């Protein structure tokens, strides 16, 4: 799928839409999810144009991949989530209900997070 430069996270990166920024470096931007599912629910996105985990893992450079995942860890650490624990995940494609087609990782923390995968109703 071609990358859509007008997806909502691309617009956040360009400053066209506001976000509640919690972390930024050369490789990544992190901000609060607009519809949080845990007391801490942060989205971490790479600065490059990658539509999904599939695209990012195949096409990003080694420095981008390393920098991005280091940023994910920093976001969790900065949130004070390491001791009690946190979960990070990325939805990729239709079965995973990916809604925004700029690669992103969700970081959840701040409560007991339950089982790993919720069964469909």
Q: In terms of CB distance, is 74 or 98 closer to ligand AMP?
A: 98
C-beta of 6: minimal distance to ligand AMP in Å? 13
C-beta of 84: minimal distance to ligand AMP in Å? 22
Q: Rounded to whole angstroms, what are the CA distances from 82 to 22, 59, 64, 69, 120?
A: 16, 30, 23, 15, 29
Binding positions for ligand AMP, rule: CB under 6 A:
8, 17, 19, 33-35, 43, 91, 97-100
Q: Rounded to whole angstroms, what are the CA distances from 100 to 5, 14, 28, 29, 62?
A: 11, 16, 16, 15, 24
- For residue 106, list its beta bridge partners: 43, 89
Q: In terms of CB distance, is 83 or 99 closer to ligand AMP?
A: 99
In the residue annotation, 104 being an active-site residue is answered as: yes
The residues that are catalytic are 104
């Amino acid at each position: 799928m071609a990358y859509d430069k007008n997806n909502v996270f691309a617009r956040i990166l360009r400053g066209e839409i506001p976000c509640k920024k919690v972390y930024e470096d050369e490789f990544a931007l992190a901000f609060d999810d607009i519809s949080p599912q845990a007391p801490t629910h942060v989205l971490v996105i790479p600065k490059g144009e990658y539509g999904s985990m599939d695209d990012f893992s195949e096409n990003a450079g080694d420095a981008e991949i390393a920098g991005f995942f280091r940023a994910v860890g920093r976001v969790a650490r900065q949130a004070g989530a390491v001791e009690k624990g946190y979960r990070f995940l990325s939805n990729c494609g239709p079965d995973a209900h990916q809604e925004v087609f700029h690669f992103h990782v969700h970081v959840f923390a701040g409560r007991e997070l339950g089982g790993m995968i919720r069964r469909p109703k």
